[in-house]
Amino acid sequence: MFTQLMKQVAELTVDTEERLKGVIDLVFEKAIDEPSFCLAYANMCHCLATLKVPMADKPSTTVNFRKLLLNRCQKEFERDKMDDAAFERKQKELDSAGSERERLQEELEEQKDRARRRSTGNIKFIGELFKLRMLTEPIMHDCVVKLLKHHEDESLECLCRLLTTIGKDLDFEKAKPRMDQYFNQMEKIVKERKTSSRIRFLLQDVIDLRLHNWVSRRADQGPKTIEQIHEQAKLEEQEEQRKVHQQLLSKDNKRRPGEHARYSHRLSLSLSLSLSLSLSLSVCLSVFIISQPQLDEKIQLGPRAQLNWVKGSSGGAKASDPGEDTHTHTLKTESPVTVAPVKPVLSEEELEKKSKSIIDEFLHISDYKEAVQCVEELEQASQLAVFVRVGVESTLERSHMAREYMGQLLYQLTQKGSLPREQLYAGFAETLEMAEDMSIDVPHIWLYLAEVLCPLLREGGIPLKELFSELSKPLLPVGRAGILFSEILHLLCKQMSHRRVGGLWREAGLNWNDFLSEDQELQSFISEQKLQFTLSDVCSASSKTRLSPDELHLQLEHLLLEDMASDEQIFDWVEANLDASQMSSTAFLRAITTAVCKAAVKDENTSCRVDTGAIRKRLPVLHKYLNSDTERQLQALYALQALIVALNQPPNLLRMFFDCLYDEDVISEDAFYQWESSTDPAEQQGKTPALNSVMAFFTWLREADEESEDN
């Protein structure tokens, strides 16, 4: 049966984008309206995945079946908000209705019911496409997160349907931590009992399914209440499908009148598939061997909440590309030997459009590999200054992350040799020449340009001296080179210390006089821009005075509790005021631990608690100075003990700190055990009540160790 249907499809003439979309619309609607036949429709789509036709508005570029299908699935998955808005409007209309209230209520319920059926049908179809490797794991994880985010019955029902379909395929070793998070959340929802009993049973069923390694136990166990509920739900679903099935014949004739009239008779399988596929379909599928087309499995999710399930839409594949397994004009596979035509040189305007398209898509999905490939396919290495200019200018009014991504892309292109450095500098020069005028509309343009440029200075990237020398050429006439370079250096200081950046400046042999105009006074500029760290090593040993333990405590507490200094500012202060021996001293380790922990204590009326968020915020500081060293960690625990004594031993506070520091891998088990068994006379103040308050912690720690040894 299935083979015969595919033969019918192979005979169809699908040679335009309109016809391809028509095929996809019909197959997609059938797939989500009839979940029972999802596998058949998914297999059909899998076979058609490589079908390509010329784009309507760009005949030289092709669009493929897979890309259009995944776009369709994504739009359906993300239509929740539109449905919610429509339901809200309908509800308002219902609330203000009089005599027609009953009819409007029925219409609203029917719309909600239809939307629910479409959602569950689409979810099942997506799952089957994933199992056929037409969708990737990151996309499926994003779907799970989105469905689990809102504790609504409809979303949770879709979640159960999806995990039942693909859970086994997602639950491999590397992904288990993510799966554990999902199922912990599901168990929490079940325990809270805020959803309907039907949804709780569905969730529990999926939880049980995972516990039994994704093997259903229904066949092995006798009947039970949950099973009866599932059976009832199954009967209800069959009844819903029967109603939908009765409506399909009339609906299909009404859908898109005239759109497919020219070839609808050649798509008869779409209208007859649901009628002709029967129980024998599973037998047909079992003997039908699907040839695996070579699909791009590197679809990636963007950094934002909105997914993008397909990529490559910026340029697509050329219809004349040699060696591609394309099915254009008909679905019958042909393999003519063709000679690739000479690629025409793009005009500057055409290259701008291409560049903008590539950059827009890259900033949406953040797929560096795809973007690099698209740039290389332009085959315009001598004109890539246009790409650089478009890339830089297109990010000036976007987010900080967009500029950082653009800089990273330029870094990768230069590292691969795809972007010649002279083209990089020429592209920036075009923007820099206009930057002063652009600053009227973009006041922070020098900072924004610095954000794009900073990634180019990564280790192994462009040397600081070369970059500054080249960029200064268009800026010196307008006297803005110093401003841009100041912004770049300050951004670098956020990634490393002022000491390190100042060292890089001096090692490169750079001099501010070379970048300032004649009317700019050097000392005034250095002072205004806070660039003293570039002139000399302000952290030299001779400039440091040894601070007493009390002075260390006061200085660090002032930094963390009053100034609310950033981690980088703390690192800078330490490097500026302490030498290597002081940084590893007992006094410093205790002072920094005390300051971090004291800032995390929250006094609530008569009790105290630990703000774990404040601890997590300072993890870079704790990890840097405790450095996974047991002896240093022991000093930190002594400091924490002294802090608890100073606070008059608040109940459970030490236990909260121990839990947090252990969970965040700040203090090791060995350090905890050394603190517990320590008999150092200097550390006995408050030790007994401290030990009593954390007795349960050590009991738990030993039990965990024993379980680990048994395993």
pLDDT tens string 232-267? 555 555 555 544 444 444 334 434 444 343 333 334
pLDDT of 227 reads 54
Residue 702: partners with Cβ closer than 8 Å, 6 or more residues away: none
At residue 302, the pLDDT reads 36
pLDDT value for 329 = 40
Domains of the chain: 350-534 (1.25.40.180), 547-710 (1.25.40.180)
- Intervals of the chain under pLDDT 50: 218-224, 242-307, 311-340, 538-543
Burial (CB count within 10 angstroms: exposed 0-12, middle 13-18, buried 19+), residue 323: exposed
Q: What is the structure's pLDDT at 456?
A: 93
Helix ranges (DSSP H) in 618-694: 619-626, 630-646, 653-663, 669-677, 687-693
State the Cα–Cα distance between residues 131 and 133, nearest whole angstrom: 5
pLDDT of residue 82: 56
Q: Output the pTM of the full model.
A: 0.38
Distance, in Å, from the CA atom of 264 to the CA atom of 482, rounded to the nearest integer, reads: 68
Tokens read off for 146: 């989105």
Distance between CA 421 and CA 297 in Å, rounded?
32
Q: What is the pLDDT of residue 605?
A: 61
Query: Which pLDDT score is estimated for 335?
Result: 41
CA proximity to 592, closest of 614, 570, 608 = 570
Q: Which residue has the tokens 């005075």?
A: 545
Which among 84, 209, 233, 97 is positioned nearest to 157, based on CA atoms?
233
Copy the structure tokens of residue 543.
């400039």
Say what the pLDDT of residue 299 is: 35
| Distance separating alpha carbons of residues 446 and 396, to the nearest angstrom | 10
